[in-house]
Amino acid sequence: MEFLGDRVLGLVVSQHLYETFSDWAVGHLSKGHSRLVSASSIEEAARGLVLGAHLRLGRGEELTGGREKRNLLADAYEAVIAAIYLDAGLQPAADFIRRTLLESEAGGERSAWSEPDHKSALQEWLQQRGLGIPQYRVVGESGPDHSKIFSIELWLQDAPMASSEGRSKKEAEQAAARMALVRLRKEESARSPAEP
C-alpha cells in the first residue's frame, strides 16, 4: 500500500507545485518536490494525524518504540493515501494530501517552499570536505502536545556544533543546520590565507 501511496503522493505534489509555482525553474520545482515528499515531511503529517496510535505492531516493534519511528509513520501515511485512492479515487486522495501535508507543511505560503534546505546544504558541504555526517539530537521538549517546542542539538565528530528550537523537530533541525553551516564557513574562511 505504501508503494502505491508514494506514487499518488508524488503525482499530487508535482501537480500542485507545477500549478502553484509555474514561474519556478525545473531545478527549483524538483527541490520543492524532494522537500515535500521527504520522510521528515511525511512523518510530520503522520504525527499531525496521530497515526502512530493506530498502528498494529508486533511485540518487538512495540517494545522498541515503533509508534514513533519515522519510517513506520511515513509508510503508514502513504498507506492511508493508497487506501483513499483505491476507495474513492484521485481527487479525494489529493484533497487529503493538500489538507494534511501541503497546507500544514507551508501554511499555504509560497515562501516556506522556497526557503533553502539547510540540512541538505550542510550535508553536501561536509561531504565535499570529508568531515562526516551531522547528528541531530532532541535534547528537550516543552509545551502541550498540540503546541510543542523542540530543542535540538547538532553534533559533528562527537562535538556539539549548534543548537536551536522550533515548533517541529524539522524546523529546529533546519535552524541548527543553518547555524552550523555559517559557523563552519567562517572557520574555513579564517583558516584560508588572505588573497594578495
Query: CATH code at 141?
Result: 3.30.160.20
Q: Which domain holds residue 152?
A: 118-191
- Which of 94, 113, 132 corresponds to the end of one domain? 113
From the list 6, 44, 105, 153, the catalytic residue is 6
User: Is 6 among the catalytic positions?
Assistant: yes
User: Is 158 among the catalytic positions?
Assistant: no
- pLDDT of amino acid 121: 81
The tens digit of pLDDT for each residue in 87-145 reads 999 999 999 999 998 886 644 444 445 455 788 888 888 988 999 999 999 999 998 87
Residue among 100, 56, 55 at smallest CA distance from 73: 55
Return the CATH number at 46.
1.10.1520.10
- Which of 97, 113, 129 corresponds to the end of one domain? 113
User: Are 103 and 57 within one domain?
Assistant: yes
- pLDDT of amino acid 104: 67
- Which of 113, 137, 154 corresponds to the end of one domain? 113
Burial of 155 (0-12, 13-18, 19+ CB in 10 A): middle
Q: Given phi > 0 = left and psi -120 to 50 = alpha, else beta, which region is 143?
A: left
Quote the pTM value: 0.58
Burial of 160 (0-12, 13-18, 19+ CB in 10 A): middle
- pLDDT of amino acid 102: 85
- How many domains is the chain built from? 2
The tens digit of pLDDT for each residue in 48-90 reads 888 888 888 888 888 788 788 888 888 999 999 999 999 999 9
- pLDDT of amino acid 113: 53
Residue at 147 is within a domain: yes
The span from the CA of 95 to the CA of 133, in Å, is 37
- pLDDT of amino acid 111: 46
User: Are 75 and 153 within one domain?
Assistant: no
From the list 2, 43, 78, 105, the catalytic residue is 78
Q: How many CB atoms lie within 10 A of CB 168?
A: 19
User: Are 57 and 107 within one domain?
Assistant: yes
